Structures are given as C-alpha cells and as structure tokens.
C-alpha cells in the first residue's frame, strides 16, 4: 500500500484529517479516555494502591497522557514497534522488544490495548493476550465487532482513513461476538466486564460507524 514518504504531505494529510474529525464528531479519545479512567480507577480502589499501567500499542500515547494526570496512577509505560523518545515523571515509552524480553523485570497492574488487536490479527490475538497476561492481572481491550460483509468493509474503510498516513496495517477481518468469545477462552482469561454498543463518536462519524461496532472488554488473569 502506498504511504506518504514526504513528511510535509504526511503532516498536511494528518492536519486535514484531524480538522474533518473536529467538525464532524470524529473525536475518538474523549469517551474512551473517560471509560478507561473509570475502569482503572475502580481497580485501583479495589486493591487500595496506585497502579502501574502498560499502554500496549500506544501510538503517540494520547490516552496515557490523560491517565497520567490521575492521582491513582503511579506509572505508565507505553510500548509499540517504532522508535519514539518520550518520558515524563510518570510516563515512559519503550519498544515492545525491551518490555517483553525473556526474564523481563516489568510487571503491571493493568494493560490497556486500545484498537490494537485487530491490526495484529484477530485469529492469533489470543497469543498476544496470553503474552500480556504474564505481565499483568488485568487487560482492558477496546476493539471492533463486524456483523456482515458490509460492516467489515466499512470498518476497513474507516481504518484506512484513520491510519493511512501512519503506515498501520489494515486488517482483512475483525472480531465478531462468537470469535471474541473463543479468543478469550483460548487465552484462559476471564471476561469480567463487557461493554457492547460503546459510542465512540458523535455527529457524522457516529452515523458512518455507529456504536454497535465498538466494544470494551475487561479480562482478568485469575492465576496471576
């Protein structure tokens, strides 16, 4: 797939894309950030301690930047496959290979994986969940459900629009509810909360890709 090699063109495309999102209700962060904050806060209250979070597939760490401000968060490590230098008092970026190397010392209370698993591949995503569960007791997943040939390609179109300039893989398929249930079972995790029909967008964006396509799942490793 052709990508923008010229950084000026890439920045222009991202600017235009963000402007369209602004005027058409395409903000993808506000509702997700609030819900993730609420879930992580409840886990923190349950264990009566400040929590350490891994933001898996963090991108530019926009959600982590919002979580960082919360008093119940002790530390956040964001991880992805690209080179990116970012560090604050509470937050740090690392490449995945370093976090998940053999005998890694990194342990987390919660992993968040926001719209990541479908890019890795829905069929093999249980392998990723198993890997993540070795480092954390809780995993919070935000992802998509497809319902038909049409909704699959609608999701692919929206993914293409959102990720074209960044070089992110556009998947050939997404989860459906039965596939997600099988993935959770194969990962040997317990789904303790599922939020179906999560409204991510407003306005035109919500009309194009409405809330039935979005879900949030909280998984627990009861062996950890």
pLDDT reading at 10 higher than 70 = no
Assess if residue 23 is contained within a domain: no
Say how many domains are in the chain.
1
Assess if residue 21 is contained within a domain: no
- Output the pLDDT for position 164: 66
Instruction: Kindly give the interhelix angle for 177-186 and 125-133, rounded to the nearest 10 degrees.
Output: 40
Residues 175 and 144: beta-carbon distance below 8 Å: yes
Assess if residue 73 is contained within a domain: yes
CA distances from 137 to 34, 53, 111, 162, 181 (A): 21, 11, 8, 31, 19
Mean pLDDT of 99-104: 72
Q: Among 62-66, 135-139, 187-191, 207-211, where is mean pLDDT lowest?
A: 207-211
Rounded CA gap, 224 and 222, in Å? 6
Mean pLDDT of 2-24: 61
pLDDT reading at 12 higher than 80 = no
Higher pLDDT, 167 or 193: 193
Assess if residue 177 is contained within a domain: yes
Assess if residue 104 is contained within a domain: yes
Question: Domain range spanning residue 130?
Answer: 28-220
Burial class (CB in 10 A: 0-12, 13-18, 19+), 179: middle
Q: What is the CATH number of the domain that holds 53?
A: 3.40.50.150
Assess if residue 8 is contained within a domain: no
CA-based Rg of the chain, rounded to a whole angstrom? 17
Residues 220 and 192: beta-carbon distance below 8 Å: yes
Q: What is the pLDDT of residues 133-176, one digit of tens each?
A: 998 999 999 999 999 999 999 999 888 877 765 667 889 999 99
Assess if residue 7 is contained within a domain: no
Assess if residue 4 is contained within a domain: no
């Amino acid at each position: 797939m052709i990508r923008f090699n010229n950084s000026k063109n890439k920045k222009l495309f991202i600017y235009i894309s963000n402007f369209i999102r602004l005027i058409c209700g395409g903000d993808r962060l506000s509702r997700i950030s609030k819900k993730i904050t609420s879930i992580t806060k409840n886990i923190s209250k349950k264990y009566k301690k400040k929590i350490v979070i891994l933001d898996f597939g963090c991108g530019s760490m926009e959600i982590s930047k919002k979580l960082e401000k919360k008093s119940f968060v002790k530390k956040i490590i964001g991880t992805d496959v690209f080179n990116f230098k970012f560090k604050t008092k509470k937050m740090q970026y690392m490449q995945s290979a370093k976090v998940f190397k053999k005998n890694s010392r990194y342990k987390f209370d919660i992993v968040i994986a926001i719209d990541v698993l479908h890019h890795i591949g829905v069929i093999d995503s249980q392998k990723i969940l198993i890997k993540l569960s070795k480092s954390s007791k809780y995993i919070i997943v935000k992802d998509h459900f497809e319902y038909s040939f049409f909704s699959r390609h609608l999701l692919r179109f929206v993914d293409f629009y959102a990720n074209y300039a960044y070089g992110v893989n556009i998947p050939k398929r997404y989860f459906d509810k039965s596939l997600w249930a099988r993935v959770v079972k194969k990962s040997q995790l317990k789904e303790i909360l599922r939020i179906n029909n999560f409204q991510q967008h407003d306005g035109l964006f919500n009309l194009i890709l409405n809330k039935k396509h979005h879900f949030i799942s909280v998984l627990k490793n009861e062996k950890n």
